[in-house]
Amino acid sequence: MTVFFAPLDDMYFAAVRLAGFSDITALPGGEELTEELLKTILEEGGKFAAGVLAPLNRAGDLQRSRLVQGVVHTPDGWSDAYRAFVDGGWNAVPFGTEHGGQGLPWLVATALQEMWHASNMAYALCPMLTQAVVEALSHHGSPEVKARFLPKLVSGEWTGTMNLTESQAGSDLAAIRTRAVREGDHYRISGQKIFITYGDHEMTENIIHLVLARLPDAPAGVKGISLFVVPKYLVGKDGKIGERNDLRCVSLEHKMGIHASPTAVMSYGENGGAYGLLVGEENKGLQYMFTTMNNARLAVGLEGVGVAERALQKAASFARERVQGRDATTDSPLPVTIIHHPDVRRMLLTMRCLTEASRALAYFAAAKLDIAKRHPDLTEQMRARSIVDLLIPVVKGWGSEVGSEVASLGVQVHGGMGYIEETGVAQFMRDAKIAEIYEGTNGIQANDLIGRKLTRDGGETARSFISEMQSLDWKPASSNENLTRLRTALTSGIAALNEATDWILARTVESRSDAASGAMNYLRLWGTVTGGWLMAKSALEATSDLRREVGNPKFLKAKVLTARFYGEHILPRAEGLKAAATAGAGTLMAMDNDAF
């Protein structure tokens, strides 16, 4: 198996030169955060990912988590790795110091999360879900709930889960049937939830479940959903663990990928009702859950970035070592490694530029999230929040699709060996697919983009962001062929996005069916173009450094060439995506249902 290494140079470049790290350090609480400290954090995180998590990835996929006599066992080494993760303080990175967190920006946490997902996605899902629980309780929990649960969730001593889905409801949360009945100062929860990531395991002494349920007198639909804290073991007001709660894992799903991650079917209240505490107010549960959505969807987009990076590293290593065929560009009769073949290089560069573009977009969104949370000026907060809200469906949807595309290309680079499980590259492809599905399928992300994020301000945020992309300073491009070609491609791509945006905005008023029919390709168009804009920024920054003779010239030249390749091979997709996004619903809806 190829040894994993965190791509520290590109991660640092994306954070500092593209995402606006200096803007984050200028925020309240960022006074002690420097570029040198960022480097140190990334280096230490890279060591942990490569030395502890990555070696468990393949073995975990083969061994899987198992449910044995009612107890979930994670793969060998999982518990030790988790203890090392907690002891290293990694779980506490982005959380408030008032509950024992380190108070570091989400931009820093995002870079670290990419490492966890790249080195071992199945493992990284556990702290990712705990993060979502901390976010929800930090915003909406009562002082008592926060005091009782947050310190150990923040540290990672306890893990957390999100219990939304039920078999009859799927993504339609209005149809959930799990019940909650008032009993003094608490509630009794009964029902069954499916697809609960790390719903049970042996790595920590307690698991804190956030459960959506409906009160007997609740309004119908999503307005009648409440949110409850339901611990695996009861927790006293003093924070000490008590008896086992009335809940259990009844089965584990047999999944296509992320085999080591236990995806549980959870049953609540088989013996009178599980003890639960209300979060916030009754009937506002779905509203509270949406507090976690931006962070959670950003994290899922990062899964795509992480798996893409892992697939790229393994494919590039294989291509440099695998000897097969003659070099078609010379007359030499000697066999060469396959990295000499133009089509293999095309695949590798496609993998590389998509990975770098999706990374840059995720980091850019994370930096805006920091500004939205911490900027002292309310106007700047709101401006950043509007950009975050616009981009999150794109980060999740496009980022996860990039993960699948890059992982698939990684299999292709390996040829027949890629189709053999022992090579390990098929795992990346299997693992990547789930990111397109959970935390709201990518179709749901696309509908969210056009139905809420684009239209709620009449397209003002989208048009403003498009204008920002159009205003990129291209002065260095006048005598540089790499930049000139990239500028031409990006200009065309932005124009396509602008035209599609006008069309979608008009059709959401005139024909919602037309708009919905184009939603997914419109989301892809946003990802393709914003990724291209950030790649152009990276090429301009790298060109500037080369002229000033600062930095690593090999790395910087590669940045420029990778960006040019993106312009020549990826940005041309924008015209096709625009055509598909604006085709309307006529053909799509014309066929009879029984003709499919």
HSE-CB of 389 using CA atoms within 13 angstroms: 23
Q: Which of 256, 284, 312 is the last residue of a domain?
A: 284
Among 320, 313, 349, 347, CA closest to 336: 320
Express as a percent the part of the chain with pLDDT over 90.
Answer: 89
Q: Is residue 382 part of a domain?
A: no
Q: Indicate which residue of 303, 436, 439, 541 is catalytic.
A: 439
- Asked if residues 485 and 568 have their Cβ atoms less than 8 Å apart, the reply is yes
Q: Is residue 54 part of a domain?
A: no
Q: Is residue 195 part of a domain?
A: yes
List, in sequence order, every beta strand (DSSP E) within 314-467.
323-326, 335-337
**159-180 pLDDT per residue, tens:** 999 999 898 877 777 778 999 9
Distance CA 444, CA 456 (A): 17
- Range 85-92 average pLDDT: 97
Q: Is residue 239 part of a domain?
A: yes
* For helices 342-374 and 378-413, angle between their N-to-C axes, nearest 10 degrees: 160
Q: What is the CATH number of the domain that holds 235?
A: 2.40.110.20
Q: Is residue 555 part of a domain?
A: yes
Task: Output the pLDDT for position 557.
Answer: 97
Q: Which of 263, 284, 305 is the last residue of a domain?
A: 284
Residue 36: C-alpha distances to residues 21, 42, 71, 112, 114 (Å):
12, 10, 45, 16, 20
Q: Would you say residue 1 has pLDDT above 60?
A: no
Residues contacting residue 136 through CB under 8 Å, at least 6 positions apart: 210, 227, 279, 288, 289, 291, 292
Q: Is residue 541 part of a domain?
A: yes
Among 126, 129, 128, CA closest to 82: 126
Q: Would you say residue 126 has pLDDT above 90?
A: yes
Among 134, 130, 137, 250, CA closest to 197: 130
* For helices 553-565 and 512-548, angle between their N-to-C axes, nearest 10 degrees: 150
Strands 247-252 and 263-268: antiparallel
Q: Would you say residue 210 has pLDDT above 60?
A: yes
Of the two residues 259 and 512, the one the predictor is more confident about is 259
Per the structure, how many domains does the chain have? 2
Distance CA 38, CA 33 (A): 7
Using 50, 70 and 90 to split pLDDT, how confident is the model at 292?
confident
Q: Which of 253, 269, 284 is the last residue of a domain?
A: 284
Q: Is residue 164 part of a domain?
A: yes
What predicted TM-score, i.e. pTM, was given to this entire model? 0.96
**Token representation of residue 22:** 């200096």
- Range 391-418 average pLDDT: 97
Q: Would you say residue 475 has pLDDT above 90?
A: no
Using 50, 70 and 90 to split pLDDT, how confident is the model at 2?
low
Using 50, 70 and 90 to split pLDDT, how confident is the model at 29?
confident
Residue 439 known to be catalytic: yes
Task: Output the pLDDT for position 289.
Answer: 85
Give the range of the structural domain holding residue 541, as residue numbers without chain letter.
445-463+474-588
**230-249 pLDDT per residue, tens:** 999 999 988 899 999 999 99
Q: Is residue 525 part of a domain?
A: yes
